[in-house]
Structure 1
Amino acid sequence: MQTKDSTIFFNELIEQHKGILYKVAKTYCKDATDREDLLQEIMIQLWKSVHKYNNEFKTSTWVYRISLNVAISFYRKNGAKTSQTTDLNEQNLQIPADEVGEREFRLNLLEQFINELNSFDKAIILLHLEDRNHADIADILGISVSNVSTKLGRIKDKLKQRFSTYKF
């Protein structure tokens, strides 16, 4: 049974870290309905875990860890349904950069390439793009700092390789 203090803490937690929740949901679900379902799953898990929160850890780290674990499970369970990214080939992407704006075009490509990553790599790059240091990423994902460095290097190489097929 949750106490009144737990309810207050939970409400404050959601309010303070709603940006994290929405960012994780948007990264793992492109469909709005799936995103809402994932957000609900994350909040349910946060509610169930609120009494287990340890003050030794930053709340943002704790929220990220739970959110990403739920998102990865959700993605694996509903993978085919939630990964409705369009399989674009080079012919579809031959949009002149000046029409869309080169920066926007590159950002759209980056988002597409990130969506093609597996769920764990997606979590790593999401945290990296949030300017989290390797120790924070390791703590959130429960892996070693050296593993974060190795995986991040490989992810960057994959993304560079994908970008290399386009001439800017």
Structure 2
Amino acid sequence: MAASLEHTVLPVPSFEKPVKVLIVVSPYYSDVAAGLLTGAKAALEDAGVSYEIVEMPGALEIPTAISISDRRSNFDGFVALACVIRGETTHYETVCSDSSRGLQMLGLQGLCIGNGILTVENKSQADVRADPDGQNKGGGAALAALHLIALGRKWASTPAGIGFKPLGEDTVMAGDLDGNTTA
């Protein structure tokens, strides 16, 4: 069983400047959502990160809420929390695939998103993964978002080395970049 396997947990990143995260949670299964939220808030608070919380009706609305929030606010990252439990219809596959795909597309556009949307076969699997004192995937999703934010900040000021440069810095003639012209 996966729960008994050892796995590596990265150290919590530290930040020089304040970090603000939006947690988007679906309370469809309210007790599971509460557990995920408890874990996410604890992870963010332990890292000294401020956060806000918004609720959406279900997992399918979470990527859209994150996209709207990114365009109209100033969050450094996002945590998506929900639970999808397999039922008797194919709706489960649609919700799992489309919510995951939506978050992945936003991530590939540069958003820092921790995906804590559980996709489980039954309620007991959800309870194990949402337990604040157990696996708590909400805390894991919050930490994933923090690692992505740290990575983005690490490379934010690194010049890409391509594209246009300011006038005077665009051409180097026989010498070093610091202006030394002796060979």
TM-score (norm 1): 0.31
Larger Rg: 2
More helix by share: 1
TM-score (norm 2): 0.29
More strand by share: 2
Greater relative contact order (CA < 8 Å, ≥ 6 in sequence): 2
